[in-house]
Structure 1
Amino acid sequence: MDSKPYPHVEELESSPSCDPQARAEDLVPETPTAKRNWRSYIWDSLDKSPEERKFVFKLDCALLTFGCLGYFIKYLDQANLNNAFVSGMKEDLNLYGNQLNYMQTCYSAGYVIGGLPTNMILTRVRPSIFIPCMELLWTICTMASSRARDAHQFYAIRFFVGLFESALYPGMIYIIGSWYRSDELAKRSCIFQAAYPIGTMFSGYLMAAVYHLDGVGGLRGWQWLYIMDGVISLPVAIAGFFIIPDFPDITRAWYFTEQDIALARKRIQLEGRATRQPYTRAKFWKILTSWHIWCLIPLYVCWNNGGASGQPVFAQFLKDSTTPKYSIPQINNYPTSTYGVQVFCTLVFAWTSDSVLKGRRWPSIIIGGIFNIICYISLWIWDIPDGWRWACYILMGVGAALAGIIMSWAHEICSADNEERAMVTGGMNQMAYVIQIWLPLIIWQQIHAPKYTAGFATVLFIGGPVMIGLAILTMWLHKREKYK
């Protein structure tokens, strides 16, 4: 396979006017921790050269802005199902069995089919073309959900929403890992990751707001939710064609100068992060026989499936309550407190991991696992005071705040091979959803709501001791590899 399917910018370095590349040698320190002072603990670029600081600022404004908005609308469009379900869709479409579980499974099936292939496509196709096209397609499917008349139509729509959305998260994580240095990576990954709980929170607020449109235009409130999601998503998808900077070796971003491009390439070179190479049989064999893929994928699978924050357990508890009886806006708004905790902890883990812990990722994972054990063992017992039950539902957000840390760790461990980095991070996301296809059908059956005994026991085990054990094993293997 041709490793250069579209124009590169190698000419920049070889041209006589390549003063920018010569300058880049002097502007970037050999290690990201060189000359660190107290300002770097506030924001990593504050103690870097003015030229590098300006470049990172432009990169943040473009890549992080689009990434966060894209991930925001992804989870806005994904979370609308749970919010619509508890806001009248269940009764209007007569969904009194396990139809919600089947809809979630159809979404996961589409997501799994697209997960790894989309990341491999991104090593050959410009992200500034591929990702916005996928966003436009899932936006159309989201708006089509407002016209679904039964569960079977929802099954088909949710499958395609999952298929098209599968490109964004692993793709943006891969792109972020292609631009930032090790002292910058966790913060950017976690800021991007924070858009997920914010999108989920906003979906609840939006449902509470559009519920008052019930009856307008002959549509129910939950139908207006899907329409408004599409209206919000469309301009973000279009903006992606102009904002995504692709990769340092092929970027044609209008906001970068030649010096910026040379500086970007030098930064990645100093990180030891490999550029694109052909896919060969030897490369596939090397990737599949490395400990990287066999430790990092299970670690991420345990995080993704070792929690209940993705299930409407809090909302279903409120909906089931009779004393007091909560209103539809309250049922949608109160569970957003879990995602508020998740946003806060995501940012705390990012800053401490990059600065205070000097790049160590495993302590944050262990802390999140401990909170999972505390919360889910309490909910598994179930016969606990209501005040503590509310606290457990809210504190679930601590264990849910680890995705950016785990993905940053994967980028660093796989930095020497670009294709391995793409396949491992894509495989982490894909295999997490492979488990998510069938596991909720067993442990989160809607007919058992809100007392999900099997669900709470399962995530207690996966998201607690198993995830912590895998984090310690990965830390030990990575340390041994670096010594070698």
Structure 2
Amino acid sequence: MASKEDHVVPSDTKAPATSTESTHGSDANPDSVPVSKEVKGTWRSYLWDTFDKSPEERHFLAKLDAVILTLASLGYFIKHLDQVNISSAFVSGMKEDMDLYGNQLNYMTLYWTVGYVIGEIPSNMLLTRVRPSIWIPACEVTWSVLTILLTQCSNATQIYVLRFFIGLAESGFYPGMQYVIGSWYRRDELAKRSCIFHACGSVGSMFSGYLMAAVYRLDGHHGYHGWQWLFIINTVISLPIAAVGFFLMPDVPDVTRAFWLTDAEKELARTRMRHEGRAGRGRGGSYNRATFKKIFTSWHVYALSLLYIFFNNGIGYGGQPAFQLWLKSEGYGVAAVNSLPSIASAVTVFFTLIYAWSSDSVLRGARWPPVVLAGAVHIVLNASLAAWDIPLGWKWACYVLGLMGGGVSGLMFAWAHEICSDNNEERAFVVASMNEMSFVVQAWLPLIIWQQVEAPRYRKGFITMVFLNVGEIGMALLIRFLHHREIAQKARNVSVDA
């Protein structure tokens, strides 16, 4: 007979977890603290999901948030900072200093993307066998060191090589941390943490512009150009953050050895995941023929990956600094070109938090409505920029709001964790596949539709994004239908077994 945990309730029909009745399994430590059941809570849970839980569980989650969210957010901040700094450097003197007047920026993005694509799935598969506290910080140290080596490049080819290996090192971080977050948090907690984590990428983009505007004043100091100082300071910021991860990263509940968690809290973490129906490490799973058959005969990997392909390629201008280059074409100086686009990143952070709170609380776990809303808004924005000859004020609005849908990335990964809850290996694989396959497309699509020589208009790019936004909406609705159908089938199987 199937257990209660085998029946995963659809994420958009379940209320937040709030009561404090103990629900220990038979193998639980008797000293473990109560695990909240999932029942309708008070208004306080709409502000923050721990307010209606037991004091013990609330204390555990406070510690978990303080460490995991800090490590994830700071790590993604430095990762995104090191990822986008090439664009900030490019528009701040590197283009002229290295005579990069062709499509070299496209190829710098391409080589980074190729490295990123190659590493993602193997890295997440490795995380189901190697401790995240070792693997993820090691990746951070590697890309931080490689970033400072960009200061020594004298031609585009050398940058291509380094960008490939930086992408390879960075490939394990975002899907890896999404996997770790999905291993600790329950359904009513997951979207907020995933989205807070993702929002720090936008903060990294904001900071890159401010940092470039500030370090440009160092132009000529010690023989380095201003854009070279950007890479140096990136590494100085990144290395200490990476080093802390070796000591504080808690791994996943089944193998955690975090010194800052008590034995009772470690058991609580495992019990919470059992009641969530989310399989963990050390329960007999492995990457064998049966596992791969389950993965590739299910709709999960295909539909979720396609959703993320539409999303990730329908936002962000293919890695091109479109807003910056438009500002530059309008005659703005280096400081303005680097600082004004940070407004768009701030807007992204604001909407990311709205998506997270509304999905976990107001929408009671539904992930698809914010995805559909963001896609619809982006259709309007990108169609306007494709037309190009629009009022100046509206063009500013289109660029400022142009990344507002980026925050739904966290919701998509939260959705994937819930859909793939019953198999740890599938969950790790699908999360990595979503990110990887989107970058497989991103490796070649910008070379066609986001060519540097067509800046700042990019007509082909904006038109293509409209169709990608339509695809994002369609896939979100299809996944909702398939997930509900799967849940209904599981419910029927439970009834038959009973």
- Shorter-chain TM-score above 0.5: yes
Amino acid at match of 1:361: R
Equivalent residues of 2:450, 2:460 under 8 A apart: yes
Structure 1 residue runs of 4+, over 6 Å off? none
Equivalent residue, structure 1, for 2:155: 150
Match of 1:281 in 2: 289
1:409-448 paired onto structure 2 within 5 Å: 409-448=415-454
- Give the deviation of 1:300 after TM superposition: 0.6
Q: Distance in 1 between matches of 2:141 and 2:82?
A: 12
CA contact (8 A) 1:35 1:47 kept: no
1:401 aligns with 2:407: yes
Corresponding residue of 2:6:
none
Contact 1:314–1:335 (CA<8 Å) still a contact in 2? yes
Matched with 2:70 is 65
Q: Which amino acid aligns with 1:405?
A: L
Query: What is the one-letter code of the residue matched to 2:416?
Result: A
Tell me the residue number matched to 2:472: 467
TM-score by length of 1: 0.94
Aligned-pair CA distance for 1:35: 5.1
**Which one-letter code corresponds to 1:58 in the other structure?**
K
Match of 1:30 among 31, 37, 40: 37
Match of residue 295, structure 1, among 303, 320, 323: 303
Matched, 1:342 2:348: yes
CA contact (8 A) 2:36 2:54 kept: no
Tell me the equivalent position of 2:134.
129
User: Which amino acid letter does the alignment assign opposite residue 27 of structure 1?
Assistant: P
* Displacement of 1:20: 7.3
- The one-letter code matched in structure 2 to 1:334 is L
3-state DSSP of counterpart to 1:47: coil
Residue number in structure 2 paired with 1:242: 247
Displacement, 1:154? Answer: 0.4
CA distance in 2, matches of 1:109, 1:69: 24
Measure, in 1, the Cα distance between the counterparts of 2:443 and 2:215.
30
Letter in 2 for 1:283: T
Q: Does 1:113 align with 2:122?
A: no
Structure 2 distance, partners of 1:307, 1:120, is 27
Aligned mate of 1:224, from 216, 223, 229 = 229
* Partner Cα separation in structure 1 for residue 351 and residue 449 of structure 2: 27
Which AA in structure 2 matches 1:352? S
Separation in 2, partners of 1:145, 1:167: 21
Q: CA deviation at 1:421?
A: 0.3
What is the match of residue 464 of structure 2?
Answer: 458
The residue that corresponds to 1:56 in the other structure is 61
2:362 — aligned with what?
Answer: 356
- Deviation of residue 308 (structure 1)? 3.0
Q: Secondary structure at the match of 1:45?
A: coil
Give the one of 301, 314, 318 matched to 2:323. 314
Q: CA deviation at 1:148?
A: 0.8
1:171 to 171, 176, 180: 176
Q: 1:35 to 1:457 in 2, by over 3 A?
A: closer
Q: Which residue does 2:383 correspond to in 1?
A: 377
SS at match of 1:202: helix
Shift of 1:320: 1.0
- Unaligned 5+ residue runs, structure 1? 1-17
Instruction: Provide structure 2 residue ranges, at least 5 long, that are not aligned to the other structure.
Output: 1-25, 490-498
1:183 aligns with 2:191: no
Alpha-carbon distance in 2 for matches of 1:157, 1:289: 38
Q: How many angstroms apart in 2 are the aligned matches of 1:306 and 1:197?
A: 16
Deviation, structure 1 residue 108: 0.0
CA distance in 1, matches of 2:297, 2:344: 39
Q: Deviations over 1:37-84 (max 9, x none)?
A: 111000000110000000000100111100000000001101110000
SS at match of 2:30: helix
Q: Deviations over 1:340-389 (max 9, x none)?
A: 11101110000000000000000000011011101000000001011110
**Residue type of the partner of 1:318?**
L
C-alpha displacement at 1:483, in angstroms?
Answer: 1.3
State whether residues 76 and 229 of structure 1, in contact with CA within 8 Å, keep that contact through their aligned partners in structure 2: yes
* Residue equivalent to 2:496: none
Verify the 8 A CA contact 2:85 2:208 in the aligned structure 1: yes
State the match for 1:365 in structure 2. Answer: 371
1:261 to 247, 266, 269: 266
Q: Deviation at 1:23?
A: 4.5
* TM-superposition CA deviations, 1:184-212 (whole Å, max 9, x none): 00000000000100001100000000000
Shift of 1:311: 2.6
Residue 192 of structure 1 aligns with which residue?
Answer: 197
Residue 40 (structure 1) aligned with residue 45 (structure 2): yes
CA RMSD of aligned residues (A): 1.2
1:99 and 1:405 map into 2 onto residues whose CA distance is 34
| Secondary structure in 2 matching 1:179 | coil
SS of match in other structure, 1:22? coil
CA contact (8 A) 1:82 1:312 kept: yes
Residues 28 and 271 of structure 2 are in contact (CA less than 8 Å); yes or no, is this contact kept in structure 1? no
Give secondary structure in 1 for the equivalent of 2:29: helix
Contact kept? 1:128, 1:243, Cα under 8 Å:
yes
Question: How many angstroms apart in 2 are the aligned matches of 1:243 and 1:442?
Answer: 43
Deviation readout 1:412-471 (Å, 9 max, x if unpaired) = 0000111110000000011011011101111110000001000000111102x1110000
TM-score of the two chains, using structure 2 as the length reference:
0.91
Equivalent-residue separation in structure 1 for 2:27 and 2:425 (angstroms): 31
Provide the rounded CA distance (Å) in 1 between the counterparts of 2:350 and 2:210: 18
Separation in 2, partners of 1:444, 1:217: 36
The aligned counterpart of 1:5 is none
- TM-superposed deviation, 1:403: 0.5
Distance in 2 between residues matched to 1:35 and 1:29, nearest whole Å = 11
* One-letter amino acid of the counterpart of residue 355, structure 1: S
